[in-house]
């Protein structure tokens, strides 16, 4: 557990954020390994299929994680107020809701996968393997929810290292299984999906075991799992907007993927590769924002308002420092990153398409660093609805300009569309931030 209501803000934020960053990198590696191995051992069709399935599954995963992030803010407030009983009840109520929600998501996903893929205008040549891969990965939704909920409880009390260990193990397990079944035994894309679900189940099981054995004071009792209408409404007030805000991004990405699908299999494959680099840039920036949210929630719960702005400034410095690192890597190694996902000598035009995108996008990663910082600040201050509005502005403009620019500029048009959305979001968020700052 980590009490962030005393001591230097930068120290707390860095020690809290570093395991989150490592965890995010592992989670991204977990996803990227599937695509790398599928592309190198099965071919560009498998790489394209996984690229099409990715935004659909991200819609589910980010919706789940958004609910857990929101609930985690509430648990952080309770921990800051030294109320462990309320932490347990909040965790129990979130778990109760999640069991039903994830079961429904899994059922609907399996039933409506073919209709969804036809709506996305997936090329007939890869429609079959994409449907099989997506249906199997939907089965992992309950495990994803269980892990994210338990991890949110641990993070709310300042423990970000333990969830990192579970992610590390599941990432290594996923890579090992993929290499053995796809690389050695040459099984197909079905096995890739099965190994992903197995690794997700492993991380959930380890989180449950750890909480039961090592932090039993946080594990909900039977009474904590009972229906609590007032607490559920508060969790929904925190988690619902965050989940919706998190889901807006993948909804837009699903629509963007539809436009990418119209550009052909080579562009689909290239886009899958470069979006993995995008994820390495943007998702860890969300981890830094999550550390800011936890810091602000604890200090608000402890009534220490004088610590809020210094912590916010320290988090912004971390965001911009990370941008410098990822910008240099993405620009310098852009061609090599794309080549990682392909067989040797397979379609050199795919490498060229992906490198063109990253040449532009590398310098634009500063924009999501800033917008994620604003989002972390607003969530930590309990201003959940504004995060939905800001994200809605960003993804609406990004999607609209993708449909305008991509047919004319190709994959570079998607990068420019991202820049337009992020810039408008940052401007609107800054105006609202100025209003909040005056009240501190």
Tens digit of each residue's pLDDT (9 = 90 or more) over 382-410: 887 788 888 889 999 999 999 999 999 98
Q: Could you say which DSSP state residue 11 is in?
A: H
Could you give the CA distance from residue 335 to residue 400 in angstroms, rounded to a whole number?
A: 28
| Block residue for tokens 């912590």 | 311
Tokens of 5: 């209501």
Contact of 254 with 56, CB cutoff 8 Å: yes
Report the chain's C-alpha Rg in angstroms.
Answer: 21
Question: What integer is the mean pLDDT of 345-361?
Answer: 86
Question: What integer is the mean pLDDT of 304-315?
Answer: 88
pLDDT in tens, 161-173: 788 788 788 878 8
> In terms of C-beta distances under 8 Å and separation of at least 24 residues, what long-range contacts does 303-307 make, across chains too?
304/5, 305/440, 307/5, 307/9
pLDDT for residue 14? 78
pTM (2 d.p.): 0.71
Could you give the CA distance from residue 318 to residue 274 in angstroms, rounded to a whole number?
A: 24
Considering Cα of 107, then 111, then 112, then 117, what sign does the dihedral take? Answer: positive
Closest CA to 403 of 259, 189, 199, 207: 259
- Confidence check: pLDDT of 119 > 90: no
- Alpha carbon separation from 230 to 4, 37, 234, 235, 237 (Å, rounded): 27, 47, 6, 9, 11
Length of the chain: 440
| Block residue for tokens 């502005």 | 393
Residue 428: partners with Cβ closer than 8 Å, 6 or more residues away: 389, 390, 393
Question: What integer is the mean pLDDT of 126-149?
Answer: 89
Share of residues in the chain with pLDDT > 90 (%):
25
Contact of 228 with 68, CB cutoff 8 Å: no
Share of residues in the chain with pLDDT > 70 (%):
96
CB contact burial 252-264 (16+ within 10 A = b; e otherwise) = bbbbbbbbbbebe
More confident residue, 66 or 278: 278
- Confidence check: pLDDT of 268 > 90: no
- Confidence check: pLDDT of 431 > 80: yes
Q: Could you say which DSSP state residue 3 is in?
A: -
Question: What integer is the mean pLDDT of 99-122?
Answer: 88
């Amino acid at each position: 557990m980590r009490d962030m209501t005393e001591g230097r803000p930068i120290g707390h934020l860095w020690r809290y954020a570093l395991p989150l960053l490592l965890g995010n990198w592992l989670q991204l590696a977990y996803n990227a390994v599937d695509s790398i191995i599928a592309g190198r051992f099965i071919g560009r069709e498998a790489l394209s299929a996984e690229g099409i399935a990715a935004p659909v599954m991200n819609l589910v995963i980010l919706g789940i994680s958004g609910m857990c992030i929101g609930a985690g803010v509430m648990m952080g407030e309770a921990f800051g107020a030294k109320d462990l009983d309320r932490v347990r009840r909040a965790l129990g109520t979130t778990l109760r809701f999640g069991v039903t929600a994830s079961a429904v998501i899994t059922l609907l996903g399996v039933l409506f996968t073919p209709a969804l893929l036809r709506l996305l205008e997936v090329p007939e040549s890869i429609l079959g393997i994409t449907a099989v891969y997506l249906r199997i990965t939907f089965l992992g939704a309950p495990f994803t929810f269980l892990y994210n909920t338990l991890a949110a409880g641990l993070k709310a009390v300042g423990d970000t290292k333990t969830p990192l260990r579970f992610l590390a193990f599941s990432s290594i397990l996923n890579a090992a299984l993929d290499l053995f079944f796809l690389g050695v035994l040459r099984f197909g894309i079905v096995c890739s999906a099965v190994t992903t679900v197995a690794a997700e189940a492993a991380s959930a099981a380890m989180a449950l075991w750890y909480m039961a054995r090592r932090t039993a004071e946080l594990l909900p009792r039977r009474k904590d799992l009972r229906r609590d209408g007032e607490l559920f409404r508060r969790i929904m007030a925190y988690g619902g907007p965050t989940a919706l805000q998190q889901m807006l991004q993948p909804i837009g990405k699903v629509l963007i993927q539809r436009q990418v699908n119209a550009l052909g299999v080579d562009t689909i494959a290239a886009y899958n590769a470069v979006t993995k680099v995008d994820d390495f840039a943007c998702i860890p920036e969300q981890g830094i924002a999550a550390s800011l949210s936890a810091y602000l929630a604890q200090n608000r719960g402890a009534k220490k308002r004088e610590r809020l702005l210094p912590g916010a400034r320290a988090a912004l410095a971390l965001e911009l420092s990370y941008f410098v690192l990822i910008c240099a890597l993405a620009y310098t190694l852009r061609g090599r990153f794309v080549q990682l996902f392909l067989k040797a000598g397979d379609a050199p035009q795919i490498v060229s398409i992906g490198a063109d995108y990253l040449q532009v996008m590398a310098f634009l990663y500063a924009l999501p660093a800033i917008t994620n910082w604003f989002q972390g600040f607003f969530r930590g201050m309990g201003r959940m609805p504004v995060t939905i509005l800001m994200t809605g502005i960003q993804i609406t403009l990004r999607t609209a300009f993708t449909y305008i620019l991509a047919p004319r500029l190709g994959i570079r048009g998607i990068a420019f569309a991202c820049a337009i959305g992020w810039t408008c979001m940052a401007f609107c968020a800054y105006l609202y931030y100025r209003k909040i700052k005056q009240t501190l």
